[in-house]
Amino acid sequence: MRTSLKKSITLSDVAKTAGVTSMTVSRVVNQNGYVSEETREKVLRVVKELNYRRNGLARGLKRQRTDTVGLVLGDIANPYSAELARSIRDVTTERGYNLFICISEHSGKEDVAAFESLTDHQVDGIIVATRSNRMGDEYLHEMIERGVPVVCVGRDFHDENADTVTADALNGGFQATQHLIDLGHKKIAFIGATLSSGQNLKRFQGYLQALKANNLKIDERLMTGNTEANDDAPGYSTEKLGYEAMKRLLALPNRPTAVFARNDFTAIGAINAIKESGLKIPSDISIVGFDDIPMAMHTYPALTTVRQPTRRQGTLAAEFLLRRVESKAPVELEEKVLECELIVRDSTAQLKR
């Protein structure tokens, strides 16, 4: 039950064989303070010879800082998460911080476990990109109370001392629906309504608002929701949901001429169902997705969708976090809502009359 079979080399080991004190070695290794060129070289030689590596635990304990931030991801299989993680890492790396990612995919209990393992290791701050849930949120408030810098991304959460970055899903849903309406569509279906996630819910609400704003009839038969089992499913698995929901919509006596799917995976599933039925996209049915995953531009036909500014969310979140980490004084709250952008490709067209 040991980290390694051989005991590790410490500063004072190096100091001893170099004939100096550990303080001098520390100065050489961390490149701060004055050390004569002569001793520096001698120390460096011993460091290499003994293959010395500093112990970050001791260092962090002393410095009360680890130069490390944590990211808790709710759905690692989602391209959104990958892009988010990448963009966050770009900022943290540039600013000299390490990034440790934890997964929490199923429950508030896992959220708490991730938060705890991160705070346990004394990370300097945490970015949270999980689905909101009671247990996780409660623990978040506690952590913040304790003074841990926290930023939430793409997630419902409110605390006076935690910044948030989200995309305007409501307006995104509105834009997508309005686009279909502008093309002359009146029977517009929505696939994948869900109550479990505020962000997903808002896409649906945007759809409803657009219908209302245009005085279109709201037909509940055209709105398919998730089964409970699917409500917290990972992104890609909603593809099956899209496929099945589309099958049902196509079987309707008065089928929709356009579909707005809650995310691109769902849209891709729907596309497959439509193709299978022999109908053509976009001439027979138009379809819009949400997220603009990398694959969206490569589907056939290329998917019209709503793009979230994912990279911007990530970099902003990281900047907000580091601002908190590096500030001694209380920091003003940031609650940034970024605009979504409609990306029109080939899956939507004017309604045939």
Partner DNA sequence: CTGTTAGCGCTTTCAA
Partner DNA sequence: TTGAAAGCGCTAACAG
Task: Tell me the C-alpha distance between 136 and 110, whole Å.
Answer: 8
Contact positions with a second copy (CB under 8 A) in 125-154: 142, 145-149
Q: Which is nearer to a second copy, 253 or 330 (CB)?
A: 330
Q: Which is nearer to a second copy, 236 or 290 (CB)?
A: 236
What does DSSP assign to residue 291? E
Dihedral sign, CA of 211, 217, 218, 221?
negative
Q: Does 58 bind DNA (CB under 7 A)?
A: yes
Residues 289, 242 contacting (CB under 8 angstroms): no
Q: Which is nearer to a second copy, 76 or 351 (CB)?
A: 76
Q: Which residues fall within 8 angstroms of residue 300, CB to CB, at 6 or more apart?
A: none
Q: Which is nearer to a second copy, 316 or 322 (CB)?
A: 322
Task: Tell me the C-alpha distance between 285 and 298, whole Å.
Answer: 19
Task: Tell me the C-alpha distance between 143 and 138, whole Å.
Answer: 9
Choices 59-67, 144-152, 236-244, 326-334; region in contact with DNA by CB under 7 A: 59-67
Sheet harboring 258-261: ordered strands across? Answer: 223-225, 188-193, 258-261, 286-291, 304-307, 341-343
Contact positions with a second copy (CB under 8 A) in 50-69: 51, 53-58, 60-61, 64-66, 68
Q: Which of 2, 62, 146, 217 binds DNA (CB under 7 A)?
A: 62
- Best CA proximity match to 157, nearest among 145, 141, 169: 141
Q: Which is nearer to DNA, 34 or 146 (CB)?
A: 34
Task: Tell me the C-alpha distance between 181 and 13, whole Å.
Answer: 74
Nearest approach, Cβ of residue 22 and DNA (Å): 4
Nearest approach, Cβ of residue 63 and DNA (Å): 5
Site string for a second copy, 91-130 (x = CB under 8 A): --x----xxxxxx-x-------x--xx-xxxx-x------
Q: Which of 16, 17, 22, 351 binds DNA (CB under 7 A)?
A: 22
Q: Which residues fall within 8 angstroms of residue 118, CB to CB, at 6 or more apart?
A: 70, 72, 100, 102, 126
Q: Out of a second copy, DNA, none, which partner does residue 50 contact, by CB within 5 to 8 A per kind?
A: none
β-partners of residue 72 are 102, 128
Q: Which is nearer to DNA, 60 or 184 (CB)?
A: 60
Q: Does 31 bind a second copy (CB under 8 A)?
A: no
Q: Which is nearer to a second copy, 113 or 338 (CB)?
A: 113
Q: Out of DNA, a second copy, none, which partner does residue 145 contact, by CB within 5 to 8 A per kind?
A: a second copy
Task: Tell me the C-alpha distance between 312 and 314, whole Å.
Answer: 5
Q: Does 49 bind DNA (CB under 7 A)?
A: no
Pairing of strands 188-193, 258-261: parallel
**The one-letter amino acid at 51:** N
Q: Does 39 bind a second copy (CB under 8 A)?
A: no
Q: Which of 136, 225, 256, 269 binds a second copy (CB under 8 A)?
A: 269
Tell me which residue has tokens 């410095």: 63
Nearest approach, Cβ of residue 333 and a second copy (Å): 15
Chain contacts with DNA (rule: CB under 7 A): 7-8, 10-12, 20-24, 26-27, 29-30, 32-40, 54-55, 58-59, 61-64
